Chains A and B, each alone.
Chain A
Amino acid sequence: MAEERKDHLWKVAQEAEERIDDLMKTGASPMGLDVGTAKIVASRRKAKDIECAAQLNAFIPVPYSKFTETILGQNDIAYYREGGELVIYGTDTERFANMFNAEARRPMADGLLNPRETRAMPVLEAILTNLVPKPKVQGEILAFSVPAALPGREAALTYHEATLRGFFQGQGYKPVAINEGLSVIFSELEDNNFTGIGISCGGGMCNVTLAFLSIPSIMIGIGKGGDYIDSAVGAVVNEHATRVRIQKEEGIDLSRQPKDKFERAIRIYYEELVESLVDGLAKALSTAETLPRTDRPLPIVLSGGTAKPKGFKDLFEKALKGRALPIEVAEIRLAKDPLTATARGALIAAMYEK
């Protein structure tokens, strides 16, 4: 009886227990989405935990034949047919790109819809449809990440955000856009009352946000990310960028001396990316008009697939050392799960909006 008398947010009459399920259905299904250049990660609350699912944001078209289509179908590979081609998309793309020794194509570039890719939106829609189920209730909240605008790309960001918003609305969601860096702050800096610097190092770009008590005061984008490293290294070692990425993700260790040409190239371009990132951060901090007056050191959290390799944090710390910043840095740490931090932060924003 003690449990039955528990205070409820709103009273539920005993004869209508099913209404608790309704409340859970409508109340517990907001969704957080990290729409990244390289990966799309969805997160949703499941009981007391958060579950995440990811798909590669890439595709590869192969010529149509009845036989190929049967094979794809039998192996449960995501594809759709367009004219004389079968467009394989999502995580399976990598396997086929390797198999055909071809470059996987990207619906997005530099954090935004890829203007040079004619199939950008159909492929992105196919991946999102695969990853994001239709809402159980019309108007459910979905928070999706958007990058900070790169200089001169403000209009492209507006188009990107509006296009995604329209798609999610069409699916029946109520979409809310959230800055990538702020998402990282939401998921990682709860203990600091959402105060600090969140950095998301993605495939297309890096995003940096400084927030004080959850209110962002600096949001900047750096136009280099994992893709830049992949293509630069690929050009040097004469490999497809897709292959470089696979090798890189198999476990690069930036904390030890490079063993071969490939590792040397990786290290060089990682250092260059980190330098650009720290430069951008320092410049933004020193020129910011709305920098909060704070008397305590601020934490920095690094996240994203590009920040995942061992030794990345040390590279960042080294690059930051000796820079004169208008704020004091408390600690630099890697997100608990760098690949899902943005999506988890977006989920918090969605639940806040509910």
Chain B
Amino acid sequence: MEPFARSPAGAPGPRARGDEFVVALEAVSRGIRDPVAKLKYIRGSLDRYRSLDRAVRFIPGKALRRHVYRWLSLESLGPLLRADPFGGAPPVDPRTRRSRFVTRVSMVSTAAAGIAAVAFATWSLPRPTPVVKAAAPALALALPPVVETPVSLPVGITPAAVWLVEKGEGWEQYSNGLRIDTSHAVAGDPRRFQVFDEAGALDPEVHDQPVGILFHTSESDIWPLEASFNETLRDSSQRLLRYLQRNRTYHYLVDRFGRVFRVVNEESKANHAGYSVWAKPGRVYLSLNNAFLGVAFESRWEGGQALPITQAQLAAGRNVTEYLRQRYDIEADMCVAHGLASVNPKKHLIGHHMDWSRGFPWAAFGLPDQYKREAPSVALFGFGYDDDFLKVLGEPWQGVRDGEQRLASEAQRRGVAVDEVRQERQGLYDRSIRAQAAAEKSAVASVADQRPVNRPRTSASGG
């Protein structure tokens, strides 16, 4: 960062960074309404200039270069286009947002035209023209190495043995290639949970081993996966990790470079699931923070889908899933996306959080397609969805339809309205969640009662 208190002697001024770049930067900055966001954007762009310029300066023609600079400047606005965490409006004005969209479309068209030109040149001439050669760096920037069609693994097979090969300070290496960075791991509250049956009876047995995995998106800043953004990508992951660690949010984070970080120790619960429902025959799990392990991919749910994860994330995510399933004997049906389990308990609606409500690469993880699995929140507890849900997803996943079908069948069999069945089921949920809260409260009280008060010190030998 440039200094605030001293003149940067000898440092190149913004103008030294090139007129075309500065013109694009100034034009885009005018669309940012918040002074801090604008300052961050301007200074961040100036810092990135050198690496950007390495790619862009080879583009022939001032007009095209200017266009690319504008496009890159608009793309850097990405993190500013969302509402702030407290609900404030995004600091970028709508015109600039529109301009970003138009420029993106125009760049894609230019890239397509470039590809067509290459194809034509390859077909019609023995060697490509110099213009086509020079356009290559811009095309490379436009196509990040994200997962498009992941390779499928056989479904439903318990992974082969995965064992700890060796460990050092801050890392663990496993036999399937998984390497876990443990330097950020923290302990949380110990895991303990009870299980319901489908009629709402709470089994008194208390469990402390996880029975499932919940996949999340981190909902964090997602920067272009390009070498020029390397520092920003790294910093962004580190800031995210610190936040997750402070709040004990997930057990694992898979960052965009495919690094797997343990955030909360596996023996502890993490605050990843909120109100949520999942089930298997005869066993119903509510509020899954305790029963499920949380694995987050550094990605964001945007425009009704998760932004594509990287090939490195896919491979690492698969490895960590294999390791957890093997270690805790987790069934394939109990590996699910947060969006499929998350509920709003007050309104009895599904999709409170929506991460991976669509597009999770189940097959690539060797898992069954959970979108086709009957949604327990709908089938067992009569949860529904509203217009906002449909606005985001267009239509619910098949498992929701199957759950609704089950409610309808039951209503028909009993000769009552579907709404009546729904209300009964929602009542069952309300009673179950209250019973769970009461059980947790009494467990906490009994732990507190057992806590030693002024216990006399004992010697090391126990005598």
User: Residues on A close to B: CB < 8 A?
Assistant: 1-16, 19-20, 22-24, 48, 143, 146, 161, 176-179, 182, 186-187, 190-191, 193-194, 212-219, 290, 292-294, 348-349, 351-352
Q: Which residues of A contact B273 (CB under 8 A)?
A: 13
| B104, chain A: closest CB distance, angstroms | 19
**Is B165 an interface residue, CB under 8 A from the partner?**
no
Complex alpha-carbon distance, A186 and B355, angstroms? 38
In the bound complex, how far is the Cα of B9 from the Cα of A1, in angstroms?
A: 54
Query: Which 8 A/B pairs are nearest by Cβ-Cβ distance?
Result: A14-B274, A178-B4, A177-B5, A11-B219, A13-B274, A9-B85, A213-B14, A351-B36
User: Once the chains bind, are B289 and A219 in contact (CB under 8 Å)?
Assistant: no
The stretch among B345-353, B406-414, B446-454 that forms the contact with chain A is: B345-353
Are B352 and A146 in contact (CB-based, < 8 A)? no
Q: Which residues of A contact B38 (CB under 8 A)?
A: 190, 193-194
Q: Are B219 and A212 in contact (CB under 8 A)?
A: no
Binding-face segment, B23-31, B170-178, B226-234, B415-423: B23-31
Query: Is B87 a contact partner of A1 (Cβ separation < 8 A)?
Result: no
**B39 and A179 form a contact (CB under 8 A):** no
Of A5, A14, A143, A193, the contact of B354 (CB 8 Å cutoff): A5
User: Can you identify 27 A-B contacts, CB atoms within 8 angstroms?
Assistant: A1-B389, A4-B344, A5-B351, A6-B83, A9-B82, A10-B244, A10-B249, A11-B216, A11-B217, A12-B85, A12-B247, A13-B274, A14-B352, A16-B271, A16-B274, A19-B271, A23-B85, A143-B4, A161-B5, A186-B35, A212-B15, A213-B14, A215-B13, A215-B43, A348-B39, A349-B4, A352-B39
Q: Please list the residues of chain B having a beta carbon within 8 angstroms of any beta carbon in chain A.
A: 2-9, 11, 13-15, 22, 25-26, 29-30, 35-36, 38-40, 42-43, 46, 82-88, 216-221, 240, 243-244, 246-247, 249, 271-275, 287, 289, 300-302, 342, 344, 347, 349, 351-355, 386, 388-389, 392
The listed residue (A4, A48, A179, A186) touching B352 by CB distance below 8 A is A4
Verify B4–A182 contact, CB threshold 8 A.
Answer: yes
Contact B249 A13 (CB under 8 A): yes
Closest residue of B by beta carbon distance from A147: B5
Partner of A348, one of B3, B11, B36, B388: B36
**Residue among B15, B82, B344, B354 with max Cβ neighbours from chain A (10 Å):** B15
CB distance from A166 to the nearest CB of B (A): 15
On whether the beta carbons of B25 and A213 are closer than 8 Å, the reply is: yes
Residue of B nearest to A144 (CB): B5
Chain A interface, >50% SS class = mixed
Q: Which residues of A contact B247 (CB under 8 A)?
A: 12, 16, 19, 22
CB distance from A298 to the nearest CB of B (A): 13
A190 to B9, CA, bound (A): 24
Report the minimum CB–CB distance from B30 to chain A (whole Å): 7
A157 to chain B, nearest CB (A): 9
A342 to chain B, nearest CB (A): 12
Chain A residues contacting B40 (CB-CB under 8 Å) are 352
Task: Report Cα–Cα, A127/B301, bound state, in Å.
Answer: 49
- By beta carbon, the residue of chain A nearest B272 is A13
Q: A1-B352, A348-B36 are in contact. List 11 more A-B contacts (CB 8 A).
A: A5-B351, A7-B301, A7-B302, A10-B218, A11-B217, A22-B246, A48-B88, A193-B30, A193-B42, A215-B2, A219-B6
* C-alpha spacing A14/B352, complex, angstroms: 9
CB atoms of B14 and A11 under 8 A apart: no
- Quote the shortest CB–CB distance from A109 to chain B (angstroms): 20
User: How many Å lie between the Cα of A176 and that of B15 in the bound state?
Assistant: 26
